Amino acid sequence: MKKIIRVWDLPIRLFHWLLVLCIAGSLISVNLGGNAIEWHAYFGYSILTLLIFRFIWGFIGSKHARFSSFIPTRRAILEYLQGRTVRVLGHNPIGALSVFALLFVLSVQVITGLFVDDEIAFQGPLAKYVPNFIVSFLSEIHEGNQVVIYTLITIHISAIWFYKKFKGENLIKPMLTGDKEIDPSEEASYLPSDLGQPSKDGVMHRTIALILFSAIAIVVGYLITQ
């Protein structure tokens, strides 16, 4: 009988899939152009809210949501690539690199987006507070960073396919259900301490996440309308 362990709490799962939807909406709307640029901005503000939540949740969230549980050190990466590490329930070192890279480039994108001014249909809420040369510089970064985002998303999706095809590991299912199923024959591949520490995902845990997210959304909404 397989051992079922809660790995991803509901707040992390909702963050992940809402982020996917917002990124997709952002990329579609910016390529449509015209009046759709307004929706591009709304998706951007939503991504900003989600990212702020994720950064805070990375310190106060459940076990596998915390950054401290998957910091990709050089040694950990090399040992993983050489196949000399035990399996982990959360992000492995390479997966952790992908997560931090995506969080970084998305942060660059939403922050620079606050200063963008195309002088036609959109002006970022912070563009009026800085000189024009800074607006132009940040606008160029915002446009060029799209290529980096496309690249990382492609790598992310390819990694999911690779693990499913060649390692028989479904990375999507746990992000939907929150649970990881461990076959008894695989338990020896994990640290006993890891298997004995499922992530917290109770009512109180989720309530704290909801209050935190709501507070962030209100603050972001207030700031962008000033």
Instruction: Collect all residues with Cβ–Cβ distance below 8 Å to 35 and sequence separation of at least 6.
Output: 121
Q: What is the pLDDT of residue 180?
A: 92
Q: What is the pLDDT of residue 204?
A: 96
pLDDT band at 112, cuts 50/70/90?
Answer: very high
Query: Which of 179-210 are b and which e, b meaning 16 or more Cβ less than 10 Å from the residue's Cβ?
Result: bbebeeeeeeebeeebbeebbebeeebeeebe
Alpha helices, DSSP H, located in 85-181: 93-113, 132-166, 172-177
Instruction: From 207, 149, 137, select the one nearest 30 (Cα to Cα).
Output: 149
Q: What is the CATH number of the domain that holds 13?
A: 1.20.950.20
Instruction: Tell me what the pLDDT averaged over the chain comes to.
Output: 92
Q: pLDDT digits over 125-175, tens only?
A: 999 999 999 999 999 999 999 999 999 999 999 999 998 998 888 999 999
Q: What is the pLDDT of residue 81?
A: 85
- pTM of the predicted protein model: 0.94
Residues 14 and 193 sit within 8 Å (Cβ to Cβ): no
Q: With pLDDT > 90 as the criterion, what percentage of the chain qualifies?
A: 70
Q: How many domains does the chain have?
A: 1
Residue-number span of the structural domain to which 105 is assigned: 3-224
